[in-house]
């Protein structure tokens, strides 16, 4: 069985950065599952010229290829918003399930980050982390990240996006964002990225040694 690290948490909490760094450190494969929903959201708004049709979103989700996750423009606020709308559709979530479960079977060990990894996609994961930080701190980080890429929304707009998506992600009926009962909470409000990664790495090392894999 593959060694699975599940990282969930709200928007811009540091899930992807921690996931990528952990994957490099332990030689695991990494999947940022938010990219799947972002790719579906982007195609759905492109095809519908700004309007998302549920049926179209489902077809896009079924036809998604790994190359779609590499396209430019997935990180914008507009696409994030579209992603959280299509993510509330059960047919879209179902269409993306096999891709994520297949990825989780990779033999070298895997890190998946998202909202429902520890609860729905990989409920038997060896390590489950729920990474969070205050909404203001997350908005500050996301704004700095977007500014570095040339997109310069106001702090208020980024904070509103973060809060809107958190509320929609937590309220949906299908695979809502929630901390799994056996997940470890990592609040990074006061932590820099190095310290957050070091804490995650320590938890993973302990789990690897329990599994006899270190």
Q: Is 193 near ligand CDP (CB under 6 A)?
A: yes
CA dist 214 and 54 (Å) reads 45
CB atoms within 10 A of CB 74: 19
Among 6, 13, 23, 146, binds ligand CDP (CB under 6 A): 13
Residues 44-83 as x/- pattern, contact with ligand CDP by CB under 6 A: ------------------------------------x--x
Residues in 133-172 that interact with ligand CDP by CB under 6 A: 141-142, 145, 165, 169
Closest to ligand CDP by CB, 193 or 211 = 193
| 3 state DSSP class of 36 | helix
User: Quick one: how many helices (H) and strands (E) in the chain?
Assistant: 9, 5
Name residue 104's beta-bridge partners.
Answer: none
Which member of 109, 114, 118, 153 binds ligand CDP (CB under 6 A)?
114
Tell me how far the alpha carbon of residue 78 is from its chain's centroid.
17
Map tokens 């040694």 to a residue.
209
- Which residues lie near ligand CDP (CB under 6 A)? 11-17, 33-34, 37-38, 80, 83-84, 87, 114-116, 141-142, 145, 165, 169, 188, 191-193, 196
């Amino acid at each position: 069985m593959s060694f699975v690290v599940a990282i969930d948490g709200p928007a811009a909490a540091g899930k992807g950065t921690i996931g990528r760094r952990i994957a490099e450190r332990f030689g695991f494969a990494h999947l940022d599952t938010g990219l799947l929903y972002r790719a579906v959201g982007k195609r759905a708004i492109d095809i519908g010229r700004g309007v998302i049709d549920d049926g179209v979103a489902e077809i896009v989700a079924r036809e998604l290829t790994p190359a779609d996750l590499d396209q430019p423009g997935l990180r914008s606020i507009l696409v994030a918003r579209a992603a959280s709308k299509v993510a509330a559709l059960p047919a879209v979530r179902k269409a993306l399930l096999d891709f994520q479960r297949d990825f989780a079977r990779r033999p070298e060990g895997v890190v998946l980050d998202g909202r429902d990894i520890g609860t729905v996609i990989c409920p038997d994961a060896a390590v489950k982390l729920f990474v969070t930080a205050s909404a203001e701190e997350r908005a500050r980080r996301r704004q700095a990240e977007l500014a570095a890429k040339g997109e310069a929304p106001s702090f208020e707009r980024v904070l509103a996006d973060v809060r809107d998506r958190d509320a929609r992600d937590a309220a949906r009926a299908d695979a809502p964002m929630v901390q799994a009962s056996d997940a470890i909470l990592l609040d990074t409000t006061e932590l820099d990225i190095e310290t957050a990664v070091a804490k995650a790495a320590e938890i993973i090392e302990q789990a690897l040694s329990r599994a006899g894999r270190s």
